[in-house]
A and B are shown apart, each in its own frame.
Chain A
Amino acid sequence: MVRGAGGRTGGVCPYPMRRYIARQIVQLVVVIIGISILSFGILHVIGDPVLLLLPQNAGKEEFERYRHLLGLDRPLYVQYWSFASRAVRGDFGQSWYGNAPAFRLVIERMPPTIYLTLAGLAVALLIALPLGTIAALKRHSFVDTLCTMVAVAGQALPIFWLGIMLIIVFAVQLRLLPASGYGTWQHFLMPSFCLGAALAPITMRLVRSGLIEVMSMDYIKTARAKGLLEWRVVVKHAFRNACIPVITVLGLQFGQLLGGAIITETVFAWPGVATLTVDSIRNQDFPVVQCAVVLLALLIVAVNLLVDILVGFIDPRVRAGA
């Protein structure tokens, strides 16, 4: 993996990095536009929102009047254009249900989801780093097999099931934790474990395979030959290289993590943006769905950009545009 060790001496080369970031930002804009068109199209295909907005006894004229009020009687491209031209100024319109700006509704709900995903990430790392390291250092031993078993089992557990089981054990039986909700640190424990447990196995396997590969490299032998303590060899020298694929995959998994957040938020009544998005899709609340989709896409793309930059700092070959 780090065979072309010559790259390590390539030094800091700011221009390719800057060009790289610029390229990523252009891609980001393209992705956002693409996603907004796609979600706009899908929303308009899946049904007529007015059927849900009005009571069942509303007459035909009432439906027509409402459709007109919401501008749904205009051609699709006109609707998209009016949405897009306002959206670039941060105005996503009013929620059709909440009588509040869509942007505010989405932004209000962002922090709980971000905290939950970060906590989930932290849990995943807390599980994966030590287990992966032990598994790598004690390769093919009983401990390694055990860690692999834990990983496979963890990956096989549906978040939904795990969540309900945690609630039954820790809230209903032991009465140690609140069953659901948001607000105190106790509320974080079960949801973040749930989310983290789903991400931990893949991370652990990556740490393990990364470390195994790195540990057989020449520079590790050199480090050992210098007489360094084994833990220093692992922590200071091996880890840096082994964590590159881990960070990359975690970045890619961020979207998955948000997907898992939908289930976790539902099970634990977590007031996040994931459930808001699903509810709004169900209600066909176009402005909120559009706003949430665009902001979430922005978040995912931004995280991936951040990961790329981070990897660039750790791995000079990326920086050099290799």
Chain B
Amino acid sequence: MGRAVAVVLALMLVLGLALSGPVQAQTKEDTIVYSLQSDVDSWDPPASVLREAIILGYHAFDHLATRDLKTRRVGPNLATSWRNIDDTTWEVKLRQGVKFHDGTPFTAKDVKATFERVLDPAKKMTARGNHAKIKSVEVMDDYTVRFKTDGPYPLFVERLTAQVMQSEKVIREKGDQWMGENPVGTGPYKLVKWNRKQDHLLVRNDDYWGPKPYYKYLRVRIIPEKATEIAELLSGGVDLIKAVPPDQMDVIDKSGGARTASSPILRTAMLQLDQAARGGPNPFTDRKVRQAANLAADHDSIIKHVLNGLGDRVATGINPMAFGWDPSLKPYKQDLAAAKKLLAEAGYPNGVDITFHEGPPIVEPAIQQTNDAIVADMAKVGFRVKRVYIGDNTVLVARTKEGKAGHMFNWSWGYYSVFDADAILYDVFKCGESYSYYCNKELDDLIATGRSTLDAKKRSEIYVKAQKLLFDDAAYLYKWGLRGVWGISNRVEYTAPADEVDRLFLATPRKK
């Protein structure tokens, strides 16, 4: 037994050593705690494909342009202005007096080095695809840069919000691996310590060129389990969490310690229909069948009763927040008689059999319940739906790419955070694209013209036409724009962001 006691004592000693954690200088009052469900893989945003990396990137770095959360328009940031010299040249003026965290001033050569690093095919930068239209970057003087593009590039300014500015000196001297762990940006916070999959500690950049954050410290914790995340919010361990499930909103709102806030986000959900016959002949190649499907579902009551109101009805795949959205186009309204009639006209008076590949509840809240409701509505007009559940999003994405997603499948599109109709039309509606199950020459022409027109008014008209076409042709079964739900501690004032990029540097204490 003496030995057993010794073993237990030894265990305790080991544990005791393990438990002597780092000394924390920050107090609760000057620290804001944010939680993410999974950690970033790198502190080098262009090398990562994760949204978490974009969010953290906003804190340590700055972008040339940034979105105003109130107007949702893109405005100046590290760039003060931009203009077209000609169809394929953009000139960008840079802000003066900005410094990187290591003290080096931010100038045109940093912009050039940043883009050249991302565009270099030999580097494994995942962000390369976002900027592939840029052919070259030229330094005119210390605070002026010219971008040459491959053809007219109307999304140029939008895309500037997707690229953090990194230091030429760091790129040259330190290299990719070092940059993955040591962000040297111009942003409002500086990284102090990163314990992988555990937490990040950031401290306010007191030399920041813009409005300085209220909280001196920002701690980002990694909490994989949603129930734990909510418990942390309720017990005061965390101040802000995102992606609160609709059925947990009440728990938070009634806790007295925290509240929820929701915001429409740039993501549209739909059921894609195989109009292009990528998986072979099927009933949805007939426009009347697609229209019947759109007329069968009662989305308004689904949004109200199943989604707790967390959705915004759309007439096509175009999100109301995207440039080019046509507010005058009204969505399909349920009309069972008209749907039945259309099906009969299409040659299916006794109903029609279709398959439906259902995705897992990762991106869309309550996806299963809303699918149940839509399938039940479709059954009322004669669709006999065979449901195939795909539990893994990767599998659904892979099948979709290969054209094997079936007659009808769950799909939602986040626009790569580019607030522009083109960001969904090209990828999800253009003939021959990986995620598109729709093919229409007329639409393709509109997409191509939209892409090569710099005049905003003309582009807007093109997209109005495109939406009319997509609505009349009932390309897919259109559903709704999604809403995000955040849980916010009652000690903090915070506005839920429409672009799903949390900016903790905007948080302040809540007024009593």
A binds B: yes
Whether B416 lies near A66 (C-beta < 8 A) is no
When the two chains form their complex, are residues A98 and B394 in contact, meaning their CB atoms are under 8 A apart? no
Within 8 Å of chain B (Cβ to Cβ): is A295? no
User: For residue A100, which residues in chain B have a CB less than 8 angstroms away from its CB?
Assistant: 177, 180-181
Assuming the A-B contacts A164-B227, A171-B237, A269-B224, are A56 and B198 also in contact, with contact meaning beta carbons closer than 8 angstroms in the complex?
no
B427 lies within 8 A of A235 (CB): no
Q: Which of B177-222 contact A (CB under 8 A)?
A: 177, 180-181, 195-199, 221-222
Closest A residue by C-beta to B128: A62
Segment from B12-20, B315-323, B348-356, B502-510 that makes contact with A: B12-20
- A180 touching B232 by the CB < 8 A rule? yes
A172-B435 in contact (CB<8A) = no
Contact B398 A48 (CB under 8 A): yes
Stretch at the interface among B38-46, B110-118, B473-481, B484-492: B38-46
Q: List 17 A-B contacts (CB under 8 A).
A: A51-B398, A69-B124, A95-B41, A97-B41, A99-B42, A99-B176, A100-B181, A118-B15, A122-B12, A171-B232, A172-B234, A175-B236, A178-B237, A182-B21, A183-B22, A185-B19, A271-B222
Distance between Cα atoms of A56 and B396 in the complex (Å)? 13
CB < 8 Å A-B pair total: 151
Residues of B within 8 A of A267 (CB): 225, 227-228
User: Does B388 belong to the interface (CB within 8 Å)?
Assistant: no
Which of B196, B236, B435 interacts with A56 by CB under 8 Å?
B435
With an 8 A cutoff between CB atoms, is A40 at the interface?
A: no
Contact B197 A275 (CB under 8 A): yes
Answer yes or no: B104 CB below 8 A from chain A CBs: no
Chain A residue with the shortest CB-CB distance to B234:
A172
Given contacts A53-B49, A108-B196, A125-B8, whether A269 and B222 have CB atoms under 8 Å apart is yes
The answer to whether A172 touches B231, judged by C-beta atoms less than 8 angstroms apart, is: yes
1/0 per residue, CB under 8 A from A, across B343-363: the answer is: 000000000000000000000
- Bound-state CA distance A56–B426 (Å) is 13
The answer to whether B136 has its CB under 8 Å from any CB of chain A is: no
Q: Which 7 A-B pairs have the closest CB atoms?
A: A183-B21, A97-B41, A271-B198, A99-B180, A269-B223, A171-B235, A115-B18
B97 at the interface (CB under 8 A from A): no
- Looking at the assembled complex, report how far the CB atom of A123 sits from the nearest CB atom of chain B, in whole angstroms: 10
Q: Please indicate the chain B residues that have their CB under 8 angstroms from the CB of A168 in the complex.
A: 231
Nearest chain A residue, comparing its CB with the CB of B22: A183
- B25 CB to closest chain A CB (Å) equals 14
Are A179 and B235 touching (Cβ within 8 A)? yes
Measured CB to CB, the closest approach of chain A to B410, in angstroms, equals 15
Judge whether B14 and A118 touch: CB under 8 Å: yes
Assuming the contacts A172-B234, A179-B231, A179-B232, asked whether A57 and B15 have C-beta atoms less than 8 A apart, the reply is no
Within 8 A of B (CB), among A137-151: none
CA–CA, A55 to B22, complex, Å?
37
Q: Is the CB of A105 within 8 A of B196?
A: yes
Partner of B129, one of A55, A109, A122: A55
Interface centre among B129, B223, B224 (most CB of A within 10 A): B224
What's the minimum C-beta distance from B273 to chain A, rounded to whole angstroms? 20
User: Given A66-B124, A118-B14, A275-B224: A59 and B129 within 8 A (CB)?
Assistant: yes
Inter-subunit contact A235/B1 (CB<8 Å): yes
Distance, CA A69 to CA B42, complexed state (A): 19
Structural contact, A119 and B15, CB atoms closer than 8 A: yes
Least CB distance, B176 to chain A, in whole angstroms: 6
A residues in contact with B8, CB < 8 Å: 122, 125-126
In the bound assembly, the distance between CA atoms of A87 and B1 in angstroms comes to 42
Q: Which residue of A lies closest to B43 (CB)?
A: A99
Could you tell me the distance in whole angstroms from the C-beta of B248 to the nearest C-beta in chain A?
Answer: 13
At the interface, yes or no: B397 with Cβ under 8 Å from chain A? yes
Is the Cβ of B11 less than 8 Å from the Cβ of A98?
no
Residues 16-35 of B, flagged 1 when their CB comes within 8 A of A and 0 if not, give 10110110000000000000
Tell me the bound Cα distance from A105 to B39 in angstroms: 13
Q: Considering only CB atoms, which chain A residue lies closest to B179 in the complex?
A: A99
User: Which positions 97-117 of chain A face chain B at CB distance < 8 Å?
Assistant: 97-100, 105, 108-109, 111-112, 115
